[in-house]
Amino acid sequence: MSIQAPAALFDHDAVRRAVDATLAAYMNDQIRTAHHRGLPREPLHALSEFLGSGGKRIRPVLCVAGWQAGGGIGTPEPVLRAAASLEMFHASVLVHDDIIDASDTRRGHPTVHRQAGTAAAILIGDLALILADDLLHGAGLAPEQLTSVLRVANRLRIDTIYGQYLDLAHSGRPPADVAPAMAIVHHKTAKYTVEGPLLLGAALAGADPAVSGLLHAYGIPIGEAFQLRDDLLGIFGNPHETGKPALDDLREGKATVLMALALQQADPDQLHTLRRYVGDPKLTSAQAEQVRAVLVDTGARTAVENMIEQRRHSALSTLSTADLPAHIITALHSQAFSATARTT
Amino acid sequence: MSIQAPAALFDHDAVRRAVDATLAAYMNDQIRTAHHRGLPREPLHALSEFLGSGGKRIRPVLCVAGWQAGGGIGTPEPVLRAAASLEMFHASVLVHDDIIDASDTRRGHPTVHRQAGTAAAILIGDLALILADDLLHGAGLAPEQLTSVLRVANRLRIDTIYGQYLDLAHSGRPPADVAPAMAIVHHKTAKYTVEGPLLLGAALAGADPAVSGLLHAYGIPIGEAFQLRDDLLGIFGNPHETGKPALDDLREGKATVLMALALQQADPDQLHTLRRYVGDPKLTSAQAEQVRAVLVDTGARTAVENMIEQRRHSALSTLSTADLPAHIITALHSQAFSATARTT
């Protein structure tokens, strides 16, 4: 069964701007309400500033793409608000993640806990999670539509926390085993960042299970590739482009596929370098260069580039035979490249 | 319009046991699912243990009372699950609150962050918040019923975070002004612990606005009295009964009505004692005794006892003329005493 595509192209930037406007309007409403009720506005201002400080809005964009893939037309207000609620949830995850990782900067700005203190940042993250609910519940969805969307949203959220927990559990002294690193990639990013938002959009449209199946087959490999790219950027990326200090991931000792492969392939000298420096919170730039050299020389960096390529290829083959509106095929095709070949 | 009361009495203990069983069954489901999916069970076990470690279950009990006040009969499964979700949300609040306050013990056990570490405890609190949603959304409510319940639930949650934020903002050096302390009491407890759960129950029953009005008129003063009692217990209570170290509130320098009144009435010597010791993280037992003496001698303790009495009186007068089922009047009457005259 083929769904007729509307004439319009899928305009990423327009969706991004509409999501930004939706978030800004929602936050202004909350700030006004708090003011009228004599409640503190500081946590709302902090959250508002964080939301406005950038971010690719990849989850809302994919949610709208999922909606249109499922037969939805255009970007009606309830869909935009549901999509924006993913970004609000993401703000909650990032604010708490920065506390967990003791990160000083995010998107080129001091992290929320560095500005407001850890205690306030815990509450600001909690508030963002609750407001993500409020935004979704008040999006104006039909009651039956809301029920099915909530099921998808909760699964996405639970998976995200498991991914974060796995990440934390393996940080500090990353294992040479690829399996735990892949489990993190799968839950923390493939499901959370790509597949989940697409499926949420499809649920909004009440899509056919076949459509959800396609979005899953596309979303998981692209999501994995997205995280594998992120892991490369965290170590080899340009901090001026990523907005993230170049030493954070190495100092933290993140359990990545990149690191697991390097640990497997390292000779004794290289292993010594990795075990000595990775996870050292005082790692210097010069030491980081030594680690980077090992990641390159062991072939780990190339292997991860190949894994990204394979996953993109798998997703693109899914698309090539997919029975989806043409403008969505185009949009997902381009998303496959921007998610996996990016530099920020 | 009078609602006929069912013959049964409102059985607090039976509701409490049913809520415990609901939470245990839900957590076991989650643990089984995580196991099947190869996901970490540690955060679920930690949360499960925390949920099973006691607590008065006052919010779920009041939620069921609100349901019956609104005309609901018995304690059907969906109502129990919605009520239990309040306890799950509460677990999230407490786990994060203990990090914020750097508390070592809760309910006589080491706090979650002392057992699992702060980073894991942030995620366990987040997970509890998300599972509170999942429990509520999957409670089996009718779609229209869910929509109205979510509105009440979100307001309750947002108010709770504001209350927590105000608490944090004024901690350390409590003000002599009663207003901020009363704002904390109002949002953190009156709305969150008493009025909100009652209104959530009423929303489950699709209650008449008149019923919600009565529950509000009863719930706010009883909730305020509950917190005023809590503040007294935090300083004068028996740690073996409260499960909470006797010095925590004084060391933290909580902004309470009790403290504000004492600061207002203190002579220069007494003021010196309060300003010197309250908020000192190294406060000794002997110094705490000096502070307690000031709280008694300034008349602050008696004044707070009087405020509790006034609020209970106001709530009981509301009940005396309330058009509610007789067994609910009885239940709320008894709740008014147990919430305000308790020792734990």
Interface pTM (ipTM) of the complex? 0.93
Cβ contact B133–A39 (<8 Å): no
Judge: A119–B100 Cβ closer than 8 Å, yes or no: yes
Q: Which residue has the higher pLDDT, B238 or B81?
A: B81
Q: Is the pLDDT of residue B7 over 60?
A: no
Q: For B187-208, how does the pLDDT look when each residue is reduced to its tens digit (9 = 90+)?
A: 989 999 999 999 999 999 999 9
The CA angle A20-A24-A29, to the nearest 5 degrees, is: 150
Q: Would an 8 Å CB–CB cutoff place B179 in contact with chain A?
A: no
Average pLDDT over residues B265-294: 96
**pTM of the complete model:** 0.93
**B3, B325 Cβ separation under 8 angstroms:** yes
Contact call for B162 and A39, based on CB within 8 A: yes
What average pLDDT does the segment A189-210 reach? 96
Considering only CB atoms, B143 lies closest to which of A39, A43, A147, namely A147
Contact B126 A130 (CB under 8 A): no
Chosen for mutation from A29, A47, A137 (greatest number of chain B CBs closer than 10 Å) is: A137
CB-based contact B141:B202 (threshold 8 Å): no
Least confident of A53-62, B236-245, B291-300: B236-245
In the predicted model, what is the mean pLDDT of residues B168-178? 90
Burial A295-310 (b: 16+ CB within 10 A, else e): beebebbebbeebbee
What is residue B3's predicted lDDT score, i.e. its pLDDT?
Answer: 47
Closest residue by Cα to residue B167 from A123, A117, A98, A44: A123
Beta strand residue intervals within B229-285, DSSP E: none
Residue B305, CA atoms < 13 Å, CB-side half-sphere? 9
- Give the distance from CA B265 to its chain's centroid: 29
SS3 (DSSP) at A171: coil
Q: Considering chain A, what is the average pLDDT of its residues? A: 93
Per DSSP, B7 falls in state S
B247 close to B288: Cβ distance less than 8 angstroms: yes
Which residues 6+ apart lie within 8 Å of B109 measured at CB? B53
Q: Is B73 on the interface with A (CB under 8 A)?
A: no
Judge whether residue A245 has pLDDT over 60: yes
Provide the residue ranges of all domains of chain B, joining segments of one domain with +: 12-340
Per-residue pLDDT for B209 more than 70? yes
Q: Of the candidates B40, B127, B161, which has its C-beta nearest A127's C-beta?
A: B161
Question: Is residue B133 within 8 Å of residue A136, measured between CB atoms?
Answer: no
Is B100 close to A92, i.e. CB distance below 8 A? no
Average pLDDT over residues A300-316: 97
Residues in chain A: 344
Interface residue A241 vs chain B (CB under 8 A): no
Beta-strand pair B105-106/A105-106: unpaired
User: Measured between CB atoms, which of A39, A96, A131 is closest to B126?
Assistant: A96
Paired sense of beta strands B105-106 and A109-110, if any: unpaired
A31 in B contact zone (CB under 8 Å): no
The answer, yes or no, to whether residue B182 has pLDDT greater than 60, is yes
Which residue of chain B is at minimal alpha-carbon distance from A125? Answer: B126
Q: Tokens representing B191?
A: 């709305």
d(CA B144, CA B161): 27
Task: Give the pair of three-digit tokens for residue A190.
Answer: 């493939």
Note the pLDDT of residue B238.
86
> What pLDDT does B8 receive?
58
Instruction: Write phi, then psi, for B6 (nearest 5 degrees).
Output: -70, 160
pLDDT exceeds cutoff 80 at B6:
no
* Residue A199 CB burial class (10 angstroms; 0-12, 13-18, ≥19): buried
Residue B13's contacts (CB-CB under 8 Å, 6 or more residues apart) are: none
Residue B74's region, left for phi above 0, alpha for psi from -120 to 50, else beta, is left
Give the distance from CA A301 to its chain's centroid: 22
Kindly state whether B177 is in contact with chain A, defined as any CB-CB distance less than 8 angstroms: no
Q: Is A99 on the interface with B (CB under 8 A)?
A: yes
Q: Is the pLDDT of residue A339 over 80?
A: yes
CB of B34 less than 8 A from some CB of A: yes
Min Cα distance A166 → chain B (Å) is: 7
Mean pLDDT of A288-311: 97
Residue A31 has pLDDT above 90, yes or no: yes
Residues 6+ apart with CB under 8 A from B25: none
Q: Which residues of B touch A99 (CB under 8 A)?
A: 119, 122
Cα–Cα distance for residue pair A287/A273, rounded to 1 Å = 9
| pLDDT over 70, % of chain A | 98
What pLDDT was estimated at residue A8?
Answer: 58
Which is more confident, B23 or A247? B23
* Nearest-CB residue to A126 (from B129, B147, B151): B129
Q: Residues B251, B257, B262, B264: what is their CA dihedral angle, to the nearest 10 degrees?
A: 120
What percent of chain B has a predicted confidence (pLDDT) above 90?
Answer: 83
Asked if B130 and A161 come within 8 Å (Cβ–Cβ), the reply is yes
pLDDT of residue B333: 94
Determine, for residues A150 and B137 on separate chains, whether the beta-carbon distance falls below 8 Å: yes
- Interface check for B327 against chain A (CB to CB < 8 A): the answer is no
- Residue A130 has its nearest CB partner, among B131, B138, B161, at B161
pLDDT at A72 over 80: yes
Residue B44 forms contact with A (CB below 8 Å): no
Using a CB-CB cut-off of 8 Å, the residues of chain A touching B144 are 143
- What is the rounded average pLDDT of the residues A320-344? 90
Cα–Cα distance measured from residue B201 to residue B66, given in angstroms and rounded to the nearest whole number: 4
For the domain made up of A12-340, give the CATH fold.
Farnesyl Diphosphate Synthase (1.10.600)
Run of H or E residues at B215: helix B209-236
pLDDT given for residue B55 in this prediction: 85
Residue B98 pLDDT: 95
Chain A within 8 Å of B45 (Cβ-Cβ)? Answer: no
| pLDDT band per the 50, 70, 90 thresholds, residue A173 | confident
pLDDT at A2 over 60: no
- Token pair, residue A109, equals 């700005």
By C-alpha distance, the chain A residue nearest B152 is A134
pLDDT for residue B243 is more than 80:
no
Instruction: Render A232-249 in DSSP notation, one character per residue.
Output: HHHHHS-HHHHSS-TTHH
Smallest Cα–Cα separation from B224: which of B212, B213, B216, B236?
B216
Q: Which pLDDT belongs to residue B248?
A: 86
Nearest chain A residue to B132, by CA: A154
Distance, CA of B321 to CA of B327 (rounded, Å): 14
How far apart, in Å, are the Cα atoms of B163 and each of A101, A106, B190?
Answer: 27, 28, 10
pLDDT at residue A70 is higher than 50: yes
Q: CB pairs below 8 Å between A and B: how many? A: 126
> How much is the pLDDT for B242?
76
Report the first-to-last Cα separation within chain B, whole angstroms: 38
Length of chain B measured in residues: 344
B53 to chain A nearest CA, in Å? 23
Rounded to whole angstroms, how far apart are CA atoms B194 and B57? 11
Distances in Å between the alpha carbon of B222 and those of A319, B20, B183, B257? 60, 24, 15, 16
